Chains A and B, each alone.
Chain A
C-alpha cells in the first residue's frame, strides 16, 4: 500500500491547520457563509438535509486496518456511530459538527487520510478495480496508475477550477468492475502490438441527467505518456467545457457537441506540445510507486483445501457465500472475499463503528491487514487463505456481514436519497430495504441469479440507476415520492444505459413493479440465461406488457 512521503504528510497537516483557521473565522462571524462555502467544500464538508456531511477520500478504495479503525473511531467519537461507503469508493460521515471538523481531519491525517478534492469542480478521487493486484486475469495493477494520477491531480493548479467535477477510473482487467465507461475519463489497461502495456483512453462517459457511455479517444496509449495525455485532455476540456450552463458543463457534453473525432484532433494537437513539457514521469519514479503495490509474501499453499471443500457441503449457507462472494485469486490456495454491506433490511453501504472495528480486526487476522472498498458499496478482503475462509465467514456473521448476496438482487446500490441528501427528490434507502425484504429468500435470489438493482433518489444518479439491469429513479410528482423504472443498464465492459419503461410508480407500487419484472424474466428466460441477456434478447416489450398491460402499452 502507498505510504505518504514527507511532502504528502506536510501538505495534509498544513491543510488541516489552514482549515482550522477558516472554521474559527466562520464561527466568529469573520467569514460569511458565501465566503466559507467554497473553502469547506474544498475540504469535503457539505451541508446536507439534517446536518453537515464529511466525505473522506479513499484513494482507489484501498484501506489499511489502521485506517479502518480510525474511521470507526471518528464515527464513534464525532458522529452517530456509523458511516456510509459510497459508489465512488469513498466514505461519508452523516452527522459531523462544523466545530469538530478540524479535529476529525487531524485524526484522519494521522492515518494518511484526508477529504481534499472530494467535492468541487476538480479531479475527484480516482477509482480502480477492487480486485487490483490479485485478479488472475489482470494485465496490470490499476492501483499503480491510480496513485500516479492521484499525485498528479492533487492540487493541480491548472485543474482546480474546472468547468465541472471530473472523475477518472482505471481498470486493469478485461472484466470491468469499475464502471469505467461511465467516467469522464476511463482508462482500460491493455497490451499493445508488441505486448507492451498501455491504455485505451475513453472520454465523456457519465451518468447524471444526461447518461452517456465513454467514447474511445485513443485506442492505445503507451504507458509512459499517461500523465501528458491526461493533461492534454484536461486542458482541452478546461478551455472548451461549457461554463455557461452547469447542466452542460461535464466533458460528456463537450464530447457530444464537438464530436469525438474533432475532440480527438484537439487532444492530439494539445498532446503534441504537452508531451514536450516534461509532465511524464521517468521510469524510476513509476517503479518507485509500483514498489508500494508489490506482492506481499504469499505462502506456498496447495490450491485444494479440504476443510474449505467440506464446509461448503456441511453448511449450505457457507456454500452459497463461497459461490456468490468469493472470487479466484492469482495465487494458489488464496481467494478474494467480498464482504457484503447489504444485509437484508440494512442501509446499503452503511457500517456501524462496531462493525468497522471488527472488520479491521478481521483484516489483520485474515487478509494481511488491508481491504478495499468496491463502488458497489461493499468491502473486499483481497488475500484470504482458502483454509481461513470458513472461519472468516463465521466471524462476519457475528457482525451481520456474512450475507451471501454479492451480485444478486439484494446487493442493491443506493444513494443516501432524501433521508440525508439535500438534492434528492425521493428516498432511496427505504425502497432498497423493502426490496431486500421482498427478495429476502436466498434460494430465490440464487434462482434469479446475477442481477444488478440500482436506486438513485434524484437525476444526479449517485445510485447509478441508469447502469443497473433494473434501475429505480426517485422523482417528485406533485408533492409525492414516485419512482421511475429503467431496464437494461449495465456497468461492465458491455456497458449500456437503462431505458425508462412507462410512467413512474408510487412508493407503494414500486416493489411490486420490480417483482413483476423479475417474474416476467423468470418466465421468459432460456436455461442459464442471465436477466440482462434475456432483456437484450427480448427487449423491453414483454416487461412493459407485464407492467402496464398489453392494450395500454400498445395504445401508448
Chain B
C-alpha cells in the first residue's frame, strides 16, 4: 500500500494545504499526516472531506524521504502534485522547493525577469 496524505486548497485564499497530525491544515507538506493502513487512509479522507476551512480535499500518493540532517521530508509521487507542493516552477521566488530535474528552475528558467523590475 502506498502512503497517503490529504491535501486541499484553503478556503480564504486558495493556498495549497495538507492535513496535519493535530487536525489543523498546514502549508508545509513535511508536516502532513501520513496514512498507510487501509483504515487510517479511510479516516484521513473522511476527516479531510469534513473540514470547513478548505475546498476540494483529496488524497495523494506520497513517499517519505529520510536524510541524515533532517528527520524526514515528504515527496508527492505525481509531478502534478509536486508542482502543487513546490511550484510554480517558473518563478523561483514563489517556488518552495525544486521540481523535476528536466525543468530545474535553477538552471533553466530566468530568475531575472520577475525579480529584476
In the complex, the answer to whether A345 meets B113 with C-beta atoms within 8 Å is yes
User: Interface-forming stretch among B11-19, B28-36, B39-47, B62-70?
Assistant: B11-19
Chain B residues whose CB sits within 8 angstroms of the CB of A271 once the complex forms? none
Q: Is the CB of B114 within 8 A of A98?
A: no
| CB-nearest residue of chain A to B117 | A354
Tell me if A352 and B117 are in contact (CB < 8 A). yes
- CB–CB A97/B114 < 8 A: no
CA distance A331 to B102 in the complex (A): 50
Q: Does B80 sit at the interface, judged by CB under 8 A?
A: yes
State whether the Cβ of B87 lies closer than 8 Å to any Cβ in chain A.
yes
Nearest neighbor of A433 in chain B, beta-carbon distance: B109
* A27→B11 contact, CB < 8 A: yes
A420 at the interface (CB under 8 A from B): yes
Q: Which of chain B's residues has its CB closest to A506's CB?
A: B102
The stretch from A44-52, A118-126, A384-392, A536-544 touching chain B is A44-52
- Taking CB atoms, residues of chain A closer than 8 Å to B9 are 47, 51
Q: How far is the CB of B91 from chain A (nearest CB, A)?
A: 8
**A479-B78 in contact (CB<8A):** yes
Contact call A49/B84, Cβ cutoff below 8 A: yes
A26 contacts the other chain (CB 8 A): yes
Interface on A for B, CB 8 Å cutoff? 26-27, 29, 33, 47-52, 80-82, 97-99, 343, 345-347, 350, 352, 354-355, 399-400, 418-420, 427, 429-430, 433-434, 476, 479-481, 506-508
Interface size class of B (residues with CB under 8 A): 20 to 34
Q: CB distance A433 to B108 under 8 Å?
A: yes
Q: Given A352-B117, A419-B88, verify A33-B56 contact (CB < 8 Å).
A: yes
B79 with A51: CB separation less than 8 A:
no
Report the minimum CB–CB distance from A389 to chain B (whole Å): 22
Q: When the two chains form their complex, are residues A479 and B110 in contact, meaning their CB atoms are under 8 A apart?
A: no
- How far is the CB of B29 from the nearest CB of chain A, in Å? 13
Q: Which residue of A48, A355, A506 contacts B14 across the interface (Cβ within 8 Å)?
A: A48
**A contact residues around B1 at 8 Å (CB):** none
Report the minimal beta-carbon distance from B92 to chain A, rounded to whole angstroms. 12
Query: B56 to A430, Cβ gap below 8 A?
Result: no
Question: A49-B87, A354-B117, A507-B100 are known contacts; what are 10 more A-B pairs with Cβ within 8 Å?
Answer: A49-B83, A82-B114, A347-B113, A350-B114, A400-B113, A418-B79, A433-B90, A433-B108, A433-B110, A479-B77
Whether B103 pairs with A418 at a CB distance below 8 angstroms is no
Closest Cβ of chain A to B50, distance in Å, is: 12
Task: Give bound CA distance, A551 to B109, whole Å.
Answer: 37
Cβ contact within 8 Å between B102 and A429: no
Q: Do A429 and B87 touch (CB < 8 A)? A: no
Q: Taking CB as reference atom, which chain A residue is nearest B53?
A: A29
Instruction: Report which of A29, A345, A400, A508 forms a contact with B102, defined as CB distance below 8 A.
Output: A508
Across the interface, name the chain B residue whose C-beta is closest to A49: B84
| 19 CB-based A-B contacts, threshold 8 Å | A27-B11, A27-B12, A47-B56, A49-B84, A50-B14, A51-B13, A51-B15, A80-B94, A81-B114, A98-B14, A350-B113, A352-B114, A418-B83, A419-B83, A419-B87, A419-B90, A429-B90, A433-B108, A481-B79
Q: Looking at the assembled complex, report how far the CB atom of A344 sits from the nearest CB atom of chain B, in whole angstroms.
A: 8
- CB contacts (< 8 Å) of B80 on chain A: these are 418, 476
In whole Å, how far is A93's beta carbon from the nearest beta carbon of chain B? 11
Chain A neighbourhood of B12, CB < 8 A: 27, 97-99
Residues in A neighbouring B90, C-beta threshold 8 A:
347, 419, 427, 429-430, 433
User: What string of 1s and 0s marks CB contacts (under 8 Å) between B97-113 and chain A?
Assistant: 00010110100111011
Q: For the complex, what is the distance from the CA of A81 to the CA of B15, rounded to whole Å? A: 17
Chain A proximity of B36: nearest CB distance (Å):
21
Question: For B4, what are the chain A residues with a Cβ–Cβ distance below 8 Å?
Answer: none
